[in-house]
Chain A
Amino acid sequence: MTHTPARSRRRRLEQPRSSVGDGAGPSVPPDHDVGSLGLLATAIAQRPISVVAGTVETAHTDGVAIVVPSMAPRASLVRTVCIQAALISAGALDAPDLRRVLRNPESAGRFVALEASRAAVALADLLPEAVLTELSGVRVQAAPRSPAESAHLALHDRSITVAPDHFGSLRRPSGPALARALRRGARLDDDASEHEERAEEPDGSADAAAKSLILVAPPFQNPLAKLMQSLFGRGGSTEDDAGGSDIGVHSAVTPGDEPSAHARLVTGRAPRSSARPAEDCDVSYPEWDCRADSYRPRWVSVSLLDPASRADREPAHHRPDRRLLNAVLRVALSPERHDRQRAGDGLDVNALVDLHVARAHGDAPDERVYQARRRTMNDLSLLLLLDCSGSAAETTGSVPIWDRQRAVAGDLLAALAESGSRVAAYGFSSRARHVRFLRIKRFDDHFGHRARERLWALEPSGFTRMGGAIRHASSLLRRGADTDRRLLVVISDGLPYDDDYEGTYAEQDTRRALDEAASSGIGCACFAVDSPTDRDALDRLWGGATHVPISSDAPWLPRVEQALRSALRTSAAVHRPR
């Protein structure tokens, strides 16, 4: 059905390109049309699938992307995508014996036929009628009830008819990281599709070679970026917020077992480390590699723990400092309307009518007939990140930096909790590519005795993989705090440092994470308490975000208010759709 003779293929090539949906009949679809089929595939498979065009005869998929013949007419492309997505949805790629099944074309073809008929039953209410008819038209004598059964039958029962070509074929899921991260909208550039062709091996057993994607995007205000943000933050956020977040993504490269030749071609430099991506875990974030000018997907994992309790520690009691509280309130409150006021800029008509009525009846009139706008509405959410890495255990002066940091955190928390803002606080430290968040107070927790205990139970240890921490904190803010103003405040003494994470690399990743936060509407500030680190280095690190050096012998209150305001201004400059 799709095996078109060479002549007509050439003819189709010469036809002018036509735009979407103009009904001009079969024609060479422009690239982005193929990408748009990704949403169809995603809907049927119920997981993110991208569709890319390649110079292939028949379609194939590895469960992450569907590669379709670029020269096929749209109607047949649509049908093929439906069929391939149906196979994915039915779980064909989860078959235990997949490698064996796919090793030779006959068993692979039988497997597709069996799975197709199984998908027709499983998705009887979902698939388009025409596709259902096709899938169930493939007659199979035995009706498999699971991918495993299909695999078994495919391997052992040679009487089963092989699926038609246009059902496409299956490939074993490749390197999980970038593969799973692919989304519709990604465009395979021309070089890559050639490379794809070279990578295809007749026995189908080769792991898919590194796919290189060029996602053309300016750094901010990129319509793709919202998808990319949720893509990369996918591990971290199950329900994303309403606000779009804009990050620039220049290109993404799959880490493979060894750097692929093509990767070098596109980026000009092999990835620095050939280590495998972070373990599969619930929450993971990418890291920005400034040398490769790309993200390393799912590079950093994050887990949340409660700090081990310390019975011997009596938490200090933080009475909210009045001035600090006022400073916080000045930042946190926004105007709202008040009715029935003694004075104001506008009139409250209901109150006026009541006044008249009261007068008419000879009652004592209530003369509060004005409407005023006052700053009484607290719509600030703030997440406090306390750097618990071992470097804070150093001492300058008599008191360890750590204790001073913790005291500042406690004071701030008390004031914030008192102000009525939504507040959360976590300690964090990292070890290699794993970051631990230690709960002091979640958004919905009360800042009471238990929270204070947790704060005082924290002990500095480990290192500072700042980028991952900032990304996770941003995700928590987006999920837990649906206010207009959102702030992330990091209390840290120094520069990010961890395995494979230092110097310019770490600085650039941290700044990138801060930019991502800012463009999703989160203002960032760093309070460096009695930090021995060079001021200039810290300023460079925090870049656009506000950095406030705090020393216990100088008044820090005014600087705090200023820093928070400035952080809010930066994030307010970015329009967030709600």
Chain B
Amino acid sequence: MSHLHSAQAAQAVTPITRTREDAPFYLPIANELAVFEAAFLGGLPIMLKGPTGCGKTRLVEHMAARLGVPLYTVSCHEDITASDLVGRYLLTGGETTWVDGPLTIAARGGGICYLDEIVEARADSTVAIHSLADHRRELYLERQGNARIQAAPDFGLVVSYNPGYQSVLKDLKVSTRQRMVAIEIDFPPPEIEEEILVREAAVDRAVAAAFVRLGQAVRRLDHEDLREVASPRALVAAGVLVARGLTPRDAAIAAIVGPLTDDPRTRAGLMSIVDAYLGAA
């Protein structure tokens, strides 16, 4: 086994490493930054919960930069296997080479491994994180002769998921949940959302305020009418369009109404909300 190489997977997985100075913009709603930092420094895994588009990924990117560690992001889906996370052998010209997966790289060299939408992956694929997630902070590499890696001190495990979205069957296993520190990222209050729009989309405050109010109205709709509601991300997208020359109304139709529904009646209903907040055509 000693002749096996574990190549630094520079060619397979590239981390995002930023400095503190160009940390991506993130405006906290509550004490989430403090909780994140405390959990990371304390070696505890973190679970980010909240609706889509509210800033979970942005929070992780921001904190990785502030903490000065590389960030390895995995967008989870049903076909993800344990090998995708831990690593696999590649066949290169008749030889076999072991290549670390993002989880292993982060565990070895330090950094945050971020499993986005972890519930989408099958449970047997994510079982690898259990030993990393509890006090052992160890990773087992079965295929590498049961090598055991002790996680680096600045290794951090972060997962995210959207609680409202999942079906009964696809919930996070209790054994997984219990190991995590939870941070809830919900829709921001209006004044914070307005500030986010101004900073992210570079629109003026009046337009931002109108979009925020529109978002508030749409979010009051029961889920029977809409499967999703307008996330901060959607509002920012509308703002970006305005900054690039579209009218607020056109931007709202493109970035908010269009993505939310295909049903013509619902669309007409959303248009009346656009009319109310951004003026009729």
Contacts and interface: CB of A to CB of B under 8 A. Distances in A.
A39 B209 contact: no
Interface string A554-570: 00000000000000000
Interface string B126-152: 000000000000000001000000000
B263 A39 contact: no
Contacts of B95: 360
B223 interface: yes
A66 interface: no
Contact of A46 (B190, B209, B220, B272): B220
Given A39-B225, A78-B276, A353-B89, A482 B169 contact: yes
Given A78-B276, A128-B213, A357-B89, A36 B190 contact: no
A354 B95 CA distance: 12
A131 interface: yes
Interface string B267-281: 011111101110111
A356 B96 contact: yes
A468 to B, nearest CB: 21
B273 A40 contact: yes
A32 interface: yes
B169 A20 contact: no
B96 A129 contact: no
Interface in B225-281: 225, 227, 263-266, 268-273, 275-277, 279-281
Contacts of A78: 272, 275-276, 280
B269 to A, nearest CB: 3
Query: A81, A224, A350, A379 — which one has the most chain B CB atoms within 10 A of its CB?
Result: A350
A127 B269 CA distance: 17
Contacts of B272: 33, 36-37, 39-40, 78, 81
B227 A43 contact: no
Contact of A126 (B88, B167, B217): B217
A75 B168 CA distance: 44
Contacts of A459: none
B38 interface: no
A356 B143 CA distance: 13
A43 B190 CA distance: 16
Contacts of B279: 75
Interface string A12-43: 00000000111100000000110111111011
A130 to B, nearest CB: 8
Contacts of A131: 276
Nearest to A350: B83
A365 interface: no
A43 B220 contact: yes
Interface in B60-95: 81, 83, 88-91, 95
B123 interface: no
Contacts of B277: 128
A227 B89 CA distance: 53
A43 B210 contact: no
Given A32-B268, A36-B272, A354-B89, A44 B217 contact: yes
B216 interface: yes
B115 interface: no
Given A43-B218, A78-B275, A125 B210 contact: no
A33 B271 CA distance: 10
Nearest to B267: A36
A72 interface: no
Query: B81, B224, B263, B270 — which one has the most chain A CB atoms within 10 A of its CB?
Result: B224
Given A43-B220, A125-B216, A127-B213, A184 B269 contact: yes
A8 to B, nearest CB: 19
Contacts of A36: 265, 268-269, 271-272
Interface in B198-230: 209-210, 213, 216-218, 220-225, 227
A483 interface: yes
B268 to A, nearest CB: 4
B165 to A, nearest CB: 10
A185 B224 contact: no
Given A129-B210, A350-B88, A240 B271 contact: no
Contacts of A482: 167-169
B263 A223 contact: yes
Contacts of B90: 353
Contacts of A35: 265, 268
A40 B89 contact: no
Contacts of B213: 125-129
A242 interface: yes
A153 B281 CA distance: 40
Contacts of A300: none
A239 interface: yes
A33 B268 CA distance: 7
A240 B169 contact: no
Nearest to A47: B222
Contacts of B263: 223
A127 B277 CA distance: 8
Contact of A40 (B83, B269, B281): B269
A356 B91 contact: yes
Contacts of A129: 209-210, 213
Interface in A64-81: 74-75, 78-79, 81
Contacts of A22: 281
B276 A82 contact: yes
A212 interface: no
Given A36-B271, A129-B210, A360 B276 contact: no
Contacts of A240: 223-224
A75 B276 CA distance: 8
B90 to A, nearest CB: 8
B8 to A, nearest CB: 19
A228 B250 CA distance: 31
B196 to A, nearest CB: 15
Contacts of A227: 224-225
A32 B216 CA distance: 25
A242 B168 CA distance: 12
Contacts of A223: 263-265
Nearest to A481: B168
Contact of B96 (A39, A125, A128, A360): A360
Contacts of B216: 125-126
Contact of A74 (B223, B227, B275): B275
13 contacts: A20-B268, A37-B269, A40-B273, A42-B225, A43-B220, A78-B272, A126-B216, A128-B277, A227-B225, A240-B223, A350-B81, A354-B143, A357-B89
**Complex A-B, nearest 10 residue pairs according to Cβ-Cβ distance, in ascending order:** A39-B269, A23-B281, A36-B268, A482-B167, A43-B217, A40-B272, A357-B96, A482-B168, A230-B224, A37-B272
